[in-house]
Structure 1
């Protein structure tokens, strides 16, 4: 029996000569021929993510969901600029001007924004360095869709991924970066997440970081770029009646990211055992904290930068 597939943006079912024992890569090649597309210009997706090509068709969603990429991302004349590309300053392809007044090619914009979504972000922000600080201007989805010249399928894929990320964040779960199954933290104050699905399947990696989603290692620290973005975009909260405190801080000693959940302002790092104040970032010395007791007010330290 022929397999079934449909484009992500359409409801019409189509048939192709793949079967359940084919790999996704094999099915993708067959589907590409039916659609008269290059195999590199389409993707098989599920739940807002690209499916591993080594999986068998029988193990993924039926019918297969297909995304056709835009292979000719042309910048509209009214958006073109001579400014340097924010990703590759030597880029010669036409660049579009973003609402923050920085420039980027449609392909680079697509790549950056998709990477943000796979890292389970829910918004897109400019990453250009301005006088030592990130621009952090938020680009709304309509702007990204137009400037990245998203195809109809790509637009649906992006929207699906944004919605899924929002749901995961609100539910307090993360997708495992290895198998994409949803995982909970074993302990609310521990950034190391164990994926029981990868562990039970005997995979070499089954622990990852709650914040940066990279494989967990001894003395783990998030990559600098990931840490900077997490620290600069995390929600603010009130701690011991002090408003505007970042909900995530980097340990002043080992730089591991820590999220404040409840109770007092003083925090003990599970990784290096250092004690520090989540509000002012003062580290406990031999005579204790200089910022007062566990529930006394102090000044909110600026957002940390990781160097």
Structure 2
């Protein structure tokens, strides 16, 4: 019997299913999302796929006519299932709980992580090398932009034009995943002092990092976990559901309703049965129900920027004005900061985009509009 091409599907309740698809790689690449849904549906008798969303890496497979090959799905890829259910009430402010440490030096990462001295050295894949005779890579005689001290002879050119080795690329992308980032970006510093920042697709990283089966499993699960963060498990039926009304915390679970379970309405914030009036965007009436990130923005310690004269104390933690991610300034150098998630550069003092702020000041002078007050709402990012 020949090889059977399969995908691993993580179901609504966390169960793992191996789905047999076809006999050849060409057939798998040509299979559509709809056909994959039908295959999964065969394993879920009585459960329609109309409200099911499939997530692979950072992609939500929304177009039924798209092929698996176009999404980069291959043999043994890991796909998550979530269910999309509406809560039926209008909305107002997104509550984003993702936290990321301030961006650290890529060279610090290079020395500690790639060379195996980080927290998880057993998971770092440093013993990798390209086959010099492989025509699918363009080899160049330039330093590895992630680890210039690499001794490996073969360095391949990424789509942005910078050179990498498979071990350093694996370690760099692992570090981004560990910070909750689902986008892989080039850390090379260009002649003008700016970071390259070009985005590498997971498919490109997978190929150039020579990811093993175990590494692909880890990367795909982590990428999906980050994407699935906007989904939550209903406390009643444990089904992962997606909230459409981003400013309403009162969520009506139709799965519980259809199965006559008691938890029809629950709080998206504290994940307990809803208490009090609704809709509401701040909290329900359960004790200790609050947005911990918003609480921190309101109560964090003040700080001053040593290198920006004339700027009074401002909050030490801010939410990115573009995507809402929580960020912290290291209190050194200029007042601008690049959000590690959406890559937008903004002024930490006035919370305007850098380009707007610099119309009336520069990176090392006080903002004309002064210090922005503490944030009382978290911006919504429609990524």
- Normalised by the size of structure 1, how large is the TM-score? 0.41
Decide which structure has greater strand share.
Answer: 1
Q: Give the number of the structure with larger relative contact order, counting CA–CA contacts within 8 Å between residues 6 or more apart.
A: 2
